[in-house]
Amino acid sequence: MEEIYDFSKSKDIAKIKEELSELILRKIIFKVDDFYLSTYDLEAIEKRKKGNQMAIKALIKAKERAAFIAKFPYVQAVGVSGSLSKGYYDNDSDIDFFVITTPRKLWITRTFLMLYKKIFLLNSRKYFCINYFMSQNSLEIEEKNRFTATEIKTLIPFQGKTILTEFYKKNEWVSDTFWNMNPILDGIPEVKKNIFVHCIENVLKTRFGDWLDDTFKKITIKKWKSKFDFMSDEDFKVALKSTKNISKHHPSNFQRKVIMALNEKYDQVHKNHSIVLSKEHV
């Protein structure tokens, strides 16, 4: 119930309790112990409990990896998104990292991190899945829907307190979806670089660095368009968004899948219980 309250628009917890009781009475939802379900599925509860326990250990590894990622050139902030940021992790999960970079150096940063993953981790993404890069001068998320609002609200900040504070301010629109948009940044360290990394950053703080960033961007986009030529232009622009200030690598287009699945559930609720819910958009 506390989670339902936390992810609602209403601050009236008494009203939410009342509505939950009414939904249970009408058998629109079900309650088992402290869990609320849209279908009576006891296996889902056990799956969640196990996933919650596995997430505790995964978060320790995520924190260590975030500190390591923060040492790379031009990384300004690091957080964790995806299922782990929701407190869930299983054997099929990855640790999804969200990285904010210095302006005009996003694609250099991305290339350095991808090369490290391919060379030293043999391209394993299990504990090193960096699929969302954003430049410091473009911190507002363009796609404003329940999916992205949830990702922002649940993002676990690990490195770069000042930049992450700015990120949350640029995305205050999330408060229109969830009343309790209050990120906790106490104890989050600022990103610190060693002398070697500072030297690399200074060397690339030139026209050559700008050219290199543009070149890495062009090479990456060309590769993606060839590899994912089955995707429509519309899906490519969302799932593999590639601009000077944004790099997303979500070839499965999970955002669209989740929103479409949610809208299908809304249709089922309407059909079975005559309750109309506003559709979400990608």
pLDDT digits (tens, 9 = 90+) for 102-117: 999 999 999 999 999 9
Mean pLDDT, rounded, of the chain: 95
DSSP string of the chain? -HHHHHTSS---HHHHHHHHHHHHHTTSSEEETTEEESS--HHHHHHHHHHHHHHHHHHHHHHHHHHHHTTSTTEEEEEEETGGGGT---TT---EEEEEE-TT-HHHHHHHHHHHHHHHSTT--SS-EEEEEEETT--S-S--SHHHHHHHHH-EEEE-HHHHHHHHHHTGGGGGT-S------TTPPPP---HHHHHHHHHTSSHHHHHHHHHHHHHHHHHHHHHTTTS-HHHHHHHT-B-SSEEE--TT-HHHHHHHHHHHHHHHHHHHH----PPP--
Residues near 260 by Cβ (< 8 Å), separated by ≥ 6?
none
| Cβ-contact 154, 81 below 8 angstroms | yes
Gyration radius from the chain CA atoms: 21
Long-range CB pairs of 228-235 (<8 Å, 24+ gap) are none
Q: How large is the average pLDDT for residues 87-110?
A: 97
Confidence (pLDDT) at 126: 87
Q: How large is the average pLDDT for residues 181-198?
A: 95
Query: Does residue 40 carry a pLDDT above 90?
Result: yes
Task: Enumerate the domain spans of the chain.
Answer: 60-251, 252-282
pLDDT digits (tens, 9 = 90+) for 234-245: 899 989 999 999
Confidence (pLDDT) at 15: 96
Query: Does residue 203 carry a pLDDT above 90?
Result: yes
